[in-house]
Amino acid sequence: GGGKNGGFVDDTLFKRLQLEEKELNGKTEMITPNQVEGSFASKIKQKAMGEYLSNVASTFLQYRDTMQYGSIDSIRVPFVEEAKKALQRASNEERTIFKQARKQQSQQSTATKNNTKSTTTNNLPLLPKSYVLATILLAIKGDHTSVPLPFGIVRQRDMVRALGRIVTDATVDDCLVGAELLMIPNVSAANIGGDGGGDGGDGSGDGGYGGLTEGDMLKSFPELVPLT
């Protein structure tokens, strides 16, 4: 399943996510070379992934009041290997969309800078509201997280409910198969899915913590619906 949300926030969100990524990297870097291929190392990675994903979802929950758009989608497959393949396909598709959206964002940011070069502090133009967009992709055993809500995401409390399930289920032993976080702005290049190679970016840059305009966000992600 995957969830998206757009909202207006300060850079505290990004700093928290960067800290959580740093903690994840610290845990996985403790694995010694002779443990890398063993089941012990696999359990360490799985536990670290689950804690990271749970913390990320928990952090997003703290910004529930800023969530203005959202969507959710999921599929059910009978075997873990099929879930891994489905996650990889979804990851590849989503990264392509994010890459295009980041390029659009970079062009918009450059145009805005060019338009404001000659302005003074007493005559600043009104800039469009900037939106943060996040996608959580995950493959997880069981039905609690993978089964979509009956009517999808239509209210803020639907998004809160979906994120709350991730907070809880991601840390259940032997439950999380793989996951990935994609964001605009590109706060992190970490991939916690294991096989996908991560959201490595595309070289276009995000211009600091700049987000997407509402129009660009809805053009790139038409499945988003306003949250009531």
| Alpha-carbon span 117 to 120, nearest angstrom | 8
Question: Which residues touch 99 (CB under 8 Å, ≥6 apart)?
Answer: 202, 204
**Are 209 and 17 spatial neighbours (Cβ–Cβ below 8 Å)?**
no
Is the model more confident about 81 or about 202?
81
Beta carbons of 181 and 95 less than 8 angstroms apart? no
- Whole-angstrom distance, CA of residue 125 vs CA of residue 224: 28
Contacts of 10 by beta carbon, 8 Å cutoff, 6+ apart: none
pLDDT in tens, 102-150: 887 776 655 555 555 544 445 545 556 788 889 999 888 876 555 556 6
Cα–Cα separations (whole angstroms), residue 90 to 94, 179, 180: 6, 11, 10
- Confidence (pLDDT) at 86: 93
Summarize the confidence of residues 9-33 as an average pLDDT. Answer: 76
- What digits encode the pLDDT tens for the residues 35-71? 445 556 677 788 888 899 999 999 999 988 889 999 8
From the CB of residue 19, how many other CB atoms can be counted at a distance below 10 Å? 12
